[in-house]
Amino acid sequence: MTDSHFELVIFDCDGVLVDSKPIINRAHAETLTACGFEISEEELLARFCGMSDAAMLGTIEREWGRALPSWYAAQVGAIIDHEFRHSLVAVSGIAKALDSLLSPICVASSSTPEQIRNKLEITGLLARFGENLFSATMVARGKPAPDLFLRAAARFGAEPRRCLVIEDSLAGIDAARSAGMTAIGFCGGSHCGPQHRAALRAHGAAVVIDDMRELATAIATVSE
């Protein structure tokens, strides 16, 4: 059985469609450390992967006991924008994987709508999704809550149990499972360490792949 078994295939953006997480984590880790909150890229990834910036920074401010400086967002944004323009690439094999799908597709990401659109435009993927872009800013609770995925399903009139989610983060897998959806884990991003596959499976991913050329086979497996 093919992906036509599913009424909707939902893709996360960072680390699934575009290999952006190393750039984003490095910008936040360097700027947070410069502000006085010392944190490494690795720790940032382990603790906050899949969460929105607002949720992550809110947690950091509570732990730190102070507010980040007013220039923080602009500083991080400038670093990320520069690096995106010079080095952001699509995940290897994702274009062909998208072209092979029969079901409707969309993006559901913790990034803002503007950030999602920018990343997809830079990497040449935006036309494949059109306006089917869903952001955590559109719902009350971001991942790991199911709200974002359920909003996407509702927009398409798709039953959650007939939706498939492609995610690289533990929070994203948790959100998909809470929504009653099938989840495929992806651990092919350059930010993924050797333990990531097992962690995705432990959180409920039905199948885990590390190469987008495996996506069609993985979908057929979970469709049986």
Confidence at residue 3, expressed as pLDDT on a 0 to 100 scale: 73
Whole-structure pTM value: 0.86
How far apart, in Å, do the first and last CA atoms of the chain sit?
6
3.40.50.1000, 3.20.20.210, 3.40.50.300, 3.30.930.10: which CATH number matches 3-20+88-223? 3.40.50.1000
Tell me: the pLDDT tens digits for 123-144? 999 999 999 999 999 999 999 9
Rounded Cα distance between 8 and 163, Å, is: 5
| Second-level CATH architecture of 21-87 | Orthogonal Bundle (1.10)
Angle between helix axes 113-122 and 72-87 (nearest 10 degrees) is: 20
Rounded Cα distance between 113 and 150, Å, is: 17
Tell me: the pLDDT tens digits for 161-203? 999 999 999 999 999 999 999 999 999 988 888 899 999 999 9
Rounded Cα distance between 31 and 13, Å, is: 23
* 206 CA to centre of own chain: 17
Confidence grade of residue 1 (pLDDT, cut at 50, 70, 90): very low
pLDDT > 90 fraction of the chain, expressed in percent and rounded = 86
Helix (H) or strand (E) holding 105: strand 105-109
